[in-house]
A and B are shown apart, each in its own frame.
Chain A
Amino acid sequence: MTAPRDKLGRPVVVVTGMGIMTSLGAGKADNWSKLVAGESGIRTITRFPIDGLKTTMAGTVDFVSVDPFSSTGLSERMAELVTQEALEQAGIGAKADFPGPLFLAVAPVEVEWPQRRELGRAVGAQDFTYDDLLRISGGGKYSAYHHRFMFGSVAAYLAETFGTKGSPISLSTACASGATSIQLGVEAIRRGETDAALCVATDGTVNPEALVRFSLLSALSTQNDPPQAASRPFSKNRDGFVMAEGAGALVLESYEAATARGAKILGVIAGCGELTDSFHRTRSSPDGKPIIGCMNKTLADAGMTPDQIDHINAHGTATPENDKMEFNTTSAVFGDLAQKIPVTSNKSMVGHTISAAGAVEAIFSLLTLEHQRIPPTINYETPDPTILFDVVGNKARDARVTAVMSNSFGFGGQNASLILTREPA
């Protein structure tokens, strides 16, 4: 008996298309084969000079060309490519006619240094003020930059290209953004507003100022050499996250609509949860209550108990605080099971794709369900003795996986979790 409704009487939300891009490569096949082989996409930055930086490596996406280059332009191009891949797989709607809304997780947009420098040069003087920049900005010469640096520009482009319906939403919940985009899609389908939603998350912001900003907050790893060994989730010698670029796209549909059109079902978004931490701008509440509450809300939303989760795709940033907090909070929710459920962090290989991470890792979780194989956490040479997770260290592990919890935690007290399962039996 295949029930189109979940335990709470809501439409079941399934995934029928996925597209992904990370520093490992383009597409599901390439990413998955490298992920289970334990390859790292982290390398020394070549896009811009690294002199004077404490952190000189990142998981950049250098194989996609954007001209003229901007971080927002790269985010847009990656989002377009992963959406194409997802739509091709889903086979939904017609060309440029997606039958539902777009929810886009995207890094906050701002005028970038190449454009600011162009403006500075155009002033044509050695000494000038911001007023001089302002004076030469008008007249139409830079009108393309207005469009490029609107916060809504990436979503507007995707909506027009793929023909999504209604007002596309651009959102940011910091490092939880990708999970939030999925949650918004799930909610819209559960409310019966739409049968399908396109959830996309993208981040192409490895640029000098972004790197400096995280560096000044002491959030980044400085273990630059070799770059592949920098991201060390759950290790004793972890020292921060590694910035990375990437994008993920998911086509969500109600189970009813997907089966009616004979679509192949790739997995189920069984539960979503989020809970705000009002303790501090960058740190979690020391008691971990908001994260614990977030995981519990997600279990309740899925109508599941901790013993039904057989894999955790961790946030696992490799910052000293995050990984410890994640173990403590997971233990509070899962009890002894926290030490038995296999846990992995994709960030050991692809780095932290920030705004895209929640979607990228949801897709890796769905691929884990499909292949019944858990990708490793690489660079796991010296386990942190206080983190007693069963970390899938260094080598992929075959396992029976029926339900995965994927966690995302971000600056500004943002916590979001997802539970992904296989097709309803």
Chain B
Amino acid sequence: MTDTVSKSGQTEVWITGIGLATSLGEGLDASWAALQEKRINVDEKGFAPYIVHPLMPVSFDSQIPKKGDQRQMEAWQRIGTYAAGLALDSAGIKGNKDILSKIDMVVAAGGGERDLNVDTGVLTAEAKGANAPGFLNERLMSDLRPTLFLAQLSNLLAGNIAIVHGIGGTSRTFMGEEVAGADAARIALSRIASGESDIALIGGSHNGERKDLMVLYEFGDFNLKDKFAPVWARKDHAGFALGSAGAFLVLESKAHAESRGAKPFAKLSSVVADLARRKQPGDMAATLEKLWAQLPRREGKGAIITGATGAEPATSEERGFLKGHAEFPVRSTGTMFGHTMETQFPLGLALAALSISRGALFPPNDSTGTEIEMQGAPTQIVVVGAGHWRGEGMALVEAVG
């Protein structure tokens, strides 16, 4: 492995597989075409006044052949298991038992959807006077589907991916909203770069079409209401529109990829993350500056892909940070894909790698002038992910060469 060790003693890590299933469609060609056409898929009616970016329907059978497996999952797990399968296909390792048996998975996950009928059934019965001490217990014992728990448990996204795709390496699930996606990439990268691991599957999935999640975010008035606008145009109408998406990547040491003849989309050079206290205005922007300085030097043709949510004050702080780096064209995934929470950072990594491999940044989609055209092929893309409440992450994706 000495031939791939750079001066710092670290192994180069390539992105050799990408799997996307989003509100804009599935697969890399469809996603790229939608981005070129500046297409946005929002549903302003189904959850009105709240706005969501619904999943473009996919045929789950093609990646999750057993109906029994599909039944054991809720939507967020099906989306993720599907996107993970696309990533393995993209890397050319689907069904390759030798490789799958040693893949290290790091998955960023929230939790699964609740059974809304059970919840409202209990609450309305109580409103009508049901107050026996064991009422809740009895209703839950009789009304909850026994396997629903498994569709809710955070680590069962990874569990389902392992079962459906036959992955037998290691499996770790990180939680903690947006920054969990950055930390998943960070830990997988460190493990491969240091030689602890050769190949990893990282990513996350999110079902944004969930009223129980909307309740949680409504507690903090974070949901975008009434009218869709690009992320940068929400200053006086703040909030995020939840999006449904699965985004997975195969990360691999250069040596491992070359030994099997795999071609890289790009290399993942660095992932850094931190927790700003966010007590004072400027705390978050200062942390983003600190992370920016921790990334390797940028000398090529650069761009920024951010998962800015549209929630305030985080988005305004981030806009301030971006103004200080105005020479880098910016793209916001939140405008096109909605806010996919744990999945937003892996989605940003995927689009960065895709843009580098296709030799162009996708066009801006913004009415405020924050996003500008980019001429020529980007060779370095910084992925930014600042949580709506806590957590900041950043990565550098570069052209291999």
Interface residue A172 (Cβ < 8 Å from any Cβ of B): yes
- A152 and B391 in contact, given A134-B211, A167-B182 (Cβ under 8 angstroms): yes
Residues of B within 8 Å of A217, CB to CB, are 146-147, 149-150
From B167, B179, B221, contact of A152 by CB (8 A): B179
Residues of A within 8 Å of B312, CB to CB, are none
- A173 and B171 in contact, given A159-B275, A166-B273 (Cβ under 8 angstroms): yes
Interface residue B183 (Cβ < 8 Å from any Cβ of A): yes
- Give, as a whole number of angstroms, the nearest-CB distance from A19 to chain B: 22
Query: Which of A60-68, A83-91, A410-418 is the interface stretch?
Result: A410-418
Q: How far is the CA of A138 from the CA of B215 in the complex (A)?
A: 8
Residues of A within 8 Å of B216, CB to CB, are 111, 145-146, 149
> Quick check: B134 and A52 within 8 Å, CB to CB?
yes
> Quick check: A281 and B160 within 8 Å, CB to CB?
yes
> Quick check: A191 and B141 within 8 Å, CB to CB?
no
Q: How far is the CA of A53 from the CA of B159 in the complex (A)?
A: 29
> Quick check: A147 and B163 within 8 Å, CB to CB?
no
Q: How far is the CA of A373 from the CA of B163 in the complex (A)?
A: 41
> Quick check: B154 and A108 within 8 Å, CB to CB?
yes
Query: Which of A208-216, A319-327, A357-365 is the interface stretch?
Result: A208-216
For B120, B138, B147, B154, which residue has the most chain A Cβ atoms within 10 angstroms? B154
- Give, as a whole number of angstroms, the nearest-CB distance from B185 to chain A: 11
> Quick check: B124 and A128 within 8 Å, CB to CB?
yes
Question: What are the interface flags for A74-87 relative to B under an 8 Å C-beta threshold, 1 for contact and 0 otherwise?
Answer: 00000000000000
Q: How far is the CA of A169 from the CA of B138 in the complex (A)?
A: 36
Residues of B within 8 Å of A229, CB to CB, are none
CB-CB nearest in chain A for B114: A110
Q: Which residues in window 99-127 of A have CB below 8 A to B?
A: 106, 108-111, 113, 116-117, 119-121, 123, 125-127
Residues of A within 8 Å of B158, CB to CB, are 276, 412
CB-CB nearest in chain A for B184: A169
> Quick check: B172 and A171 within 8 Å, CB to CB?
yes
Residues of B within 8 Å of A166, CB to CB, are 273-275
Interface residue A170 (Cβ < 8 Å from any Cβ of B): yes
Query: Which of B15-23, B51-59, B188-196 is the interface stretch?
Result: B188-196
- A111 and B137 in contact, given A213-B149, A276-B167 (Cβ under 8 angstroms): no
Residues of A within 8 Å of B324, CB to CB, are none
Residues of B within 8 Å of A49, CB to CB, are 133-134, 136-137
Q: How far is the CA of A128 from the CA of B125 in the complex (A)?
A: 10
- A152 and B176 in contact, given A281-B163, A411-B153 (Cβ under 8 angstroms): yes
- A281 and B72 in contact, given A52-B138, A146-B220 (Cβ under 8 angstroms): yes
> Quick check: B127 and A121 within 8 Å, CB to CB?
yes
- A167 and B160 in contact, given A146-B216, A151-B176, A412-B153 (Cβ under 8 angstroms): no
> Quick check: B116 and A412 within 8 Å, CB to CB?
no
- Give, as a whole number of angstroms, the nearest-CB distance from B128 to chain A: 5
Residues of B within 8 Å of A171, CB to CB, are 172-175
Interface residue B277 (Cβ < 8 Å from any Cβ of A): yes
Residues of A within 8 Å of B150, CB to CB, are 217, 281-282, 411
CB-CB nearest in chain B for A273: B170
CB-CB nearest in chain B for A214: B149
Residues of B within 8 Å of A375, CB to CB, are none
From B124, B126, B159, contact of A412 by CB (8 A): B159
Interface residue A2 (Cβ < 8 Å from any Cβ of B): no
From B214, B217, B390, contact of A156 by CB (8 A): B390
Residues of A within 8 Å of B116, CB to CB, are 130
Residues of A within 8 Å of B127, CB to CB, are 120-121, 123, 125-128
Q: How far is the CA of A376 from the CA of B155 in the complex (A)?
A: 32
Interface residue A160 (Cβ < 8 Å from any Cβ of B): yes
- A134 and B120 in contact, given A167-B183, A171-B174, A174-B153 (Cβ under 8 angstroms): no
> Quick check: B149 and A111 within 8 Å, CB to CB?
no
> Quick check: B155 and A111 within 8 Å, CB to CB?
no
CB-CB nearest in chain A for B151: A281
> Quick check: A117 and B123 within 8 Å, CB to CB?
yes
> Quick check: A130 and B170 within 8 Å, CB to CB?
no
Q: How far is the CA of A180 from the CA of B155 in the complex (A)?
A: 12
> Quick check: A172 and B137 within 8 Å, CB to CB?
no
- Give, as a whole number of angstroms, the nearest-CB distance from A60 to chain B: 16
From A52, A168, A193, contact of B190 by CB (8 A): A193
Residues of A within 8 Å of B92, CB to CB, are none
- Can you list 21 pairs linking A and B with CB atoms under 8 Å apart? A49-B133, A52-B134, A53-B134, A53-B137, A108-B152, A109-B175, A119-B123, A120-B123, A146-B217, A151-B175, A152-B176, A152-B179, A152-B391, A166-B273, A167-B182, A191-B194, A216-B141, A275-B169, A276-B169, A281-B150, A411-B159
Chain A interface (Cβ < 8 Å from any Cβ of B): 49-54, 106, 108-111, 113, 116-117, 119-121, 123, 125-131, 133-134, 137-140, 142-147, 149-153, 155-156, 159-160, 166-174, 180, 184, 187-188, 191, 193, 208-209, 212-217, 274-282, 290, 410-414
3 closest residue pairs by CB, A with B: A51-B134, A412-B159, A152-B176
Chain B interface (Cβ < 8 Å from any Cβ of A): 50, 72, 105, 109-111, 114, 116, 119-120, 123-124, 126-128, 132-138, 140-141, 144, 146-150, 152-156, 158-160, 162-163, 165-177, 179-180, 182-183, 186-187, 190-191, 194, 196, 211-212, 214-223, 273-275, 277, 387, 389-393
